[in-house]
Structure 1
Amino acid sequence: MWLQLLINTISLGSFYTLVALGFSIIFGVTHTFNLAHGELIVLSGYLAYGLTRFWETPFAFTLPLCMLAMTCLALGLLALFRRLREPYELSSLVFAFGLALVIQNLMLFFFTADYRRIPTSGPPIRLVAHTLITRNQLWLIGLSITATVCVSLMLRKTFLGKALRAVIQERETARLAGIRVEHMNRIAFAVGGALIGLAGPLLGQSAYLHPSGGMEATLIAVVITLFAGAGRIRGLLMGAWLLALLESGTTLWLGSNWRELVSAGILIALLIWKPEGLLARKKSAAEL
């Protein structure tokens, strides 16, 4: 039982990291509080579902196609966000809320309210005794680790990544230093869109897709970002795995009906006692 709980926690935490990573980068660089983040992930899942169901596309090939599509969509959304007026944070929050409702209703119109799921290939793999690991969990763990490592290396080892970190840490100072902040905004939305495109098909394979399912993904992204502080990769990993452990334990001992209460409770506690991020430093909340 304990080994199965560990495997479930690792796979769920890996997925949560992927969900929060794109949200955190976009929020940290552009200060855009994208409440439509979860809806975009579900939309990506529906795209992968359509590719596998109607065009019989292998699941592995849906990943780059969805990443490309959601990157283009994210850049299109950036053009809309740029038209908002001050106060930008509040305007983006209201606009994103309306956008989430629009995307929900569009998905309801085109895909109906029926629950849909991308089929998995092959039976689960038995490790020891009654401990199983599914191929979807292997996809989650492998792709999440790969994406997280790539983003971390980009932020730490490249000039572009250092420029993004500078914008996260102090936007106006970065502008005065000659960094093209608007260009960094486009990069952040492109990276965030690619991560959304990667998370969607994995969601569609591990859970049922339905038009109103994006709210939970958005809640998870917000909770983990508040826990770590915007843009802190190591904090995101810690927050995602801790949240996954709490939810897995709650589901095991109290039942699945209590799982979402864990995320909501953590969010309320963070907003009351530590809104700048539980792991964030006072002068460097955006340290990566």
Structure 2
Amino acid sequence: MFDLKSYLKIHRQRVNASLHSYLGTGDSDVSRVTQAMSYSVMAGGKRLRPILCIAGAQAVEGDQEAVTALACALEMIHTYSLIHDDLPAMDDDEKRRGKATCHVRFDEATALLAGDALLTLAFKILATTASQFPAAEHLNWLNVIAKIASASGFRGMIEGQMRDMASEGKIISIEDLEILHGLKTGKLIEASVVSGATIAGATEIQLQALSAYAVHIGLAFQVADDILNVTGDPERLGKNTGTDQARGKNTYPSLIGLEPAQRLADRLVDKALNALDDFDKKADPLRAIARYIVERNR
């Protein structure tokens, strides 16, 4: 039986070691912005996106070592989005991953610049890594870089955040909520899975199946997050609960109720697993992660 706990531990350690090599320790002998970058990236977290990237490569029998840099870049982009999301101009959160948010630990200007620096460093890593591969593989890397840029940009994560802020205090349809979360959360999750597989040499048919898997788990992840914001333990989550309701945010529990939201998450996981029907046991990490997404308590 596949041991997800050990798999996550091994690959979190692997990703953390690589992130540390890119960012250093954040000690006093480096600049303030570098300290803020390291503080936020190394504060913990599930490392879901980089691990999905690695698992996507593994599902198509790719070299996992080749995707480590890609995985780290994805985590940097994700962390940049969290730093900005926590700012007073947006969600004004004071706690993230059990620690003070970046702007609380440092200041707003430093947090803003740390987020910007992580985003630009991520694309430097992607470009530098791509240049180390043979010319025949450059097109794959260019496609990956474009996909990640699109997923994190104004037609992806940023548009989702904009819609999230604009809809506070209003009631939107369940269809609009699905679009919002598909942009804000789902696009980067999809890019993580598909990018890892692309670099590993996946076929177009495999990429289509992995994309379908990722779209379903991306939405399931957000539904589960909405549920945890109502029912979760703040100590386990590392952040406050009840904040969605306090801010007047649209969530699946608020629009359809807690139990229907849980059933929706389960159906989405079933659809994700169905998308992997033609993959062998090498996709077991992806299957286990799909289940973990709706069963987690943090």
Instruction: Answer 1 or 2: higher relative contact order, Cα 8 Å, separation at least 6.
Output: 1
Normalising by structure 2, report the TM-score: 0.32
Normalising by structure 1, report the TM-score: 0.33
